[in-house]
Structure 1
């Protein structure tokens, strides 16, 4: 298959022609980001339902719609956003990679470590940009937190406390369906799990696949509420990743304090809203260190889903396959933490 070259923006970044696979709620949020970004345009929409694909394409001005297979066969699509339910990520992302498309895949990449390994292997073979869509990893706040950790301002990091969740008032749908990877851990627990992974691996070089395979992950305790359909609705766990311990909490059945804390030998980092929203990244953190005044720091915000799309464009321009904000090693290690957490809860 011959790929038509993309246009180039004045900044030197490519003008990326995106396809959305799965025109649902999260895809609409991605469209808000894409429209706010600097590098991309919606070119095509794929769905199991031709009618849904056509309606979404018409709403957002995409000239092309069709089945997944039809969209991935086109040579005028540069990148694909996989926005379907968890259990369909693997076949769609690997098909897109095999077709030579850059891929931004919603989190979690898959529902198992084995499937995540398979997806990352497909990305390595394809040699194109591939990114797990953890939007909170982008923007001034994420950059500032990485700098605090890299500069050793906390001393040796020892513990992470992180939570994310909320009250789902519908009580039905994909969150409650084990056949499509329902449950709090995979859907929203992936955020605190990935945050803990980022903190635990913040020292040294970016985490590679081999490091992610070999770093010890231990669940010391896990408790929670399993719903009638067999999916987890509320859960907490004490987990150790390498030398760093973490207390993780997630829920779809109650409100939860979404703040996070990182503790080290010389201080603590507190972030009241590290996750931000789908339209704006978080904007502040507090640094507490022995012998220093408490530092309340405010930073700028970005449209985080725009930042994800622009990161794919940057990777395309540079010939990179990984995006430094969320490396493939971090995706694999996050999958290991999520799988261990789920197994411990149901053991």
Structure 2
């Protein structure tokens, strides 16, 4: 891929499930790349997905990763396959955009990041809410002191699954609320703390509670975190809906975000700033297609010879992985 050919970077999607369909739709809005190939465990499923979304090439994971006409891969498979697929793609000279969580364990996360560093290929954990005008402004507000000293983050994300079946409720593929959706509030807390200048490498779980369901996965969970001088309180569930809100409290102002996570098709567009002097400001932002934006960020890193994407640096990916593991362990 030449630097003058930024609009035609060739993407492969690994995994033919629902999140991959959303990525394929989002990629149509990308400025730096297009869908070229689809890989799945079952080659026939890959071919059907490729036909549905207009990809030229289809095959098994190994067949697609081995091709030399692919610049980057998106991994939308179950959590327990992320590490193996990411490492194979990085070793094959591909940039990698991997759905959150990057892996199911801190050790696997470290292993993947080590390969990315060695191969010099870009790797991004796909927290799509980190992309768009709002998260850029959020980082600037916090780093610039608009809230004063950040003291606390409250964030939650949860939904009610229709039934206790499938990957979400299967411990063999690292199902459960914490890894699937709890990673969002944890990653926000880590990001806010980092923007406030806290040493996220020292982040720790202070307290963890939750409910382990009949299939053996965490269905609902709550945790208190300490990240430098920032306290965070996070909640998640896969059996009950929760607000999609977050609240960031500083000693001079509070920022309330009614939909902290945006959606799969539009980034967050509004927040309310409440200052200690009683003034209230409604903040509004333009939106982007966040899956397209994160894909473009990987290709830009590839073009510029960078391994990291600034919206989700590796130090934060490592911190999130440790916190998620400790949160899960804290439930017993």
TM-score by length of 1: 0.93
Which of 257, 282, 285 does residue 299 from structure 1 map onto?
A: 285
User: CA offset at residue 291 of structure 1?
Assistant: 2.1
- Name 1:137's counterpart in structure 2: 130
In structure 1, stretches of 5+ residues that fail to align are: none
- Name 1:311's counterpart in structure 2: 297
- Name 2:169's counterpart in structure 1: 176
Secondary structure (helix, strand or coil) at the match of 1:18 reads strand
User: CA offset at residue 117 of structure 1?
Assistant: 0.5
Secondary structure (helix, strand or coil) at the match of 1:8 reads coil
User: CA offset at residue 75 of structure 1?
Assistant: 0.6
- Name 1:328's counterpart in structure 2: 314
Which of 182, 188, 202 does residue 181 from structure 2 map onto?
A: 188
TM-score by length of 2: 0.97
Distance 2:151 2:274 in 1: 15
Number of paired residues?
332
- Name 1:249's counterpart in structure 2: 235
- Name 1:25's counterpart in structure 2: 18
- Per-residue CA deviations over 1:284-319 (Å, capped at 9, x if unaligned) read 011111225100111111100010111112112211
Distance 1:327 1:61 in 2: 32
Distance 1:16 1:164 in 2: 33
Tell whether the 8 Å contact from 1:54 to 1:65 is kept in structure 2 after alignment.
Answer: yes
Tell whether the 8 Å contact from 1:21 to 1:82 is kept in structure 2 after alignment.
Answer: yes
- Per-residue CA deviations over 1:182-220 (Å, capped at 9, x if unaligned) read 00000000000000000111134xx9xxx65xx323322
Which of 213, 237, 240 does residue 223 from structure 2 map onto?
A: 237
Which of 203, 208, 228 does residue 217 from structure 1 map onto?
A: 203
Q: How does 1:6-85 map to 2 (within 5 A)?
A: 6=2, 8-9=4-5, 13=6, 15-85=8-78
Tell whether the 8 Å contact from 2:3 to 2:303 is kept in structure 1 after alignment.
Answer: no
- Name 1:203's counterpart in structure 2: 196
- Name 1:279's counterpart in structure 2: 265
Which of 154, 157, 165 does residue 158 from structure 2 map onto?
A: 165
Q: How large is the RMSD of aligned CA atoms in angstroms?
A: 1.3
Distance 2:203 2:286 in 1: 34
User: CA offset at residue 7 of structure 1?
Assistant: 7.2
Secondary structure (helix, strand or coil) at the match of 2:282 reads strand
Tell whether the 8 Å contact from 1:14 to 1:313 is kept in structure 2 after alignment.
Answer: no
Tell whether the 8 Å contact from 1:218 to 1:240 is kept in structure 2 after alignment.
Answer: yes
Distance 1:218 1:18 in 2: 37
- Name 1:264's counterpart in structure 2: 250
Distance 1:145 1:163 in 2: 18
In structure 2, stretches of 5+ residues that fail to align are: none
- Name 1:108's counterpart in structure 2: 101
Tell whether the 8 Å contact from 2:150 to 2:196 is kept in structure 1 after alignment.
Answer: no
Distance 2:194 2:54 in 1: 42
Secondary structure (helix, strand or coil) at the match of 1:93 reads helix
- Per-residue CA deviations over 1:162-197 (Å, capped at 9, x if unaligned) read 001111113200000011010000000000000000
- Per-residue CA deviations over 1:7-33 (Å, capped at 9, x if unaligned) read 734xxx352100011111000000111
Tell whether the 8 Å contact from 2:257 to 2:270 is kept in structure 1 after alignment.
Answer: yes
